[in-house]
Amino acid sequence: MKDFRSDTFTQPTEAMRKAMYEAETGDDVYGEDPTAQRLQRMAEEITGKEESLIVSSGCMGNLIPHMIKGGRGKEVLCAPESHIVRHEIGAVVSLSGTLPVLVHSDNGIMKKEDVENNIHGYAYDMSETSMIETENTTSGLVYPMENLKGIKELAEEHGLWVHMDGARIFNASVETGISVREYASTADDITFCLSKGLGCPAFSVLSSSHDFIKEAKRCRKILGGGMRQIGILAAAGIFALENNVGRLKEDHEHRVAISKALDETSWAEVKISATNMIFFTSRYPITNIIAAFRKKGVLFLEDGGMGRIVTSINNTDEDTDEMVKIIKEMDETEFRG
């Protein structure tokens, strides 16, 4: 099967597994895992933040900043499409008590003005705004730097914390040539995922100030995320940061080829095509289209009523050529179910 479902389905390569096998380990709860420490230092170098902490997942990397800087009964301004709203089982509400306020956005991308209109200061009967969340990339789309800078300026004026869900920040950076450090400078903390396009089996890294990370470590423990000999998994992260970042460009090129082929069909309308993601609609039921592709050995998913194709390290040039060929040769009658 050619798997275009998500970059979370990526498999550790043989070379990554070798690095994991050879990793030095220690008890990370006591800060004694040398490989975990090394990965955290690398993240600090990349993001330009004072300190970093490995967390078990992207969800944990999003939740902890809400626990520390969101606060119970306080508001976080975010896009309606954001992962914290749509795919994290309401954790920021149920576990940190923070209320997400959905700000007008263009496919997940907010402008300074959109955010500004929703900031509340103190009032005896209203919840106060404590935080702004940006997600970069969001549905594959890269946040324009101008928007991020505008949002950060606004946050500074109002004393608000900015959290960036940078699950796929390396895709943004590779696409635009803007460094992760520069993107991270528009937020007070950033979390990025190793377990997506970078091809690791687990982990995200949260980076911010020394004081924030000190508190984040306690939150991670509360959430059951204090882990012991994690060097085995951290070694995969180090391997990925050293070997798998530049190659994301290939995933983006594969996306361009597939998106072009879809655009040329009479049955698909491409709505978003950016970095490693394509979203398309059709006059046929998406589930029928997915079933027809599955019969031809290709997997992708439905998301929000659209077909969603994600390119990743899973997909070779040959897979992409095959996918393009299948799209071009697809007989529409197969979508009638």
Ligand X SMILES: Cc1ncc(COP(=O)(O)O)c(C=O)c1O
- Applying CB under 6 A, does 59 fall inside the site for ligand X? yes
Least CB distance to ligand X at residue 98 (A) = 16
- Applying CB under 6 A, does 220 fall inside the site for ligand X? no
- Applying CB under 6 A, does 83 fall inside the site for ligand X? yes
Least CB distance to ligand X at residue 207 (A) = 15
Token pair listed for 138: 């969001």
Cβ atoms of 16 and 239 closer than 8 Å: yes
- Applying CB under 6 A, does 92 fall inside the site for ligand X? no
Rounded Cα–Cα distance for residues 25 and 127 (Å): 45
- Applying CB under 6 A, does 136 fall inside the site for ligand X? no
Least CB distance to ligand X at residue 163 (A) = 11
| Closest CB to ligand X among residues 83, 255 | 83
Q: Are strands 298-299 and 277-281 parallel, antiparallel or unpaired?
A: unpaired
Rounded Cα–Cα distance for residues 53 and 142 (Å): 25
Residues 75, 114, 165, 251: which binds ligand X (CB under 6 A)? 165
Residues 12, 58, 70, 225: which binds ligand X (CB under 6 A)? 58
Query: Burial code of 223-256, b = ≥16 C-beta within 10 A, e = fewer?
Result: bebbbebbbbbbbbbbbbbeebbeebebbbebbe
Q: How many CA atoms lie within 13 A of 22 on its CB side?
A: 8
Least CB distance to ligand X at residue 55 (A) = 9
End-to-end alpha carbon distance in the chain: 21
- What x-and-dash track marks residues 104-133 binding ligand X by CB under 6 A? ------------------------------
Cα–Cα–Cα angle for 241, 245, 246, nearest 5°?
135
DSSP 71: -
Rounded Cα–Cα distance for residues 201 and 301 (Å): 21
Least CB distance to ligand X at residue 134 (A) = 11
| Closest CB to ligand X among residues 85, 330 | 85
Among residue numbers 3 through 42, which ones bind ligand X (CB under 6 A)?
8
Least CB distance to ligand X at residue 267 (A) = 27
Chain contacts with ligand X (rule: CB under 6 A): 8, 57-59, 62, 83, 135, 165, 167, 193, 195, 204
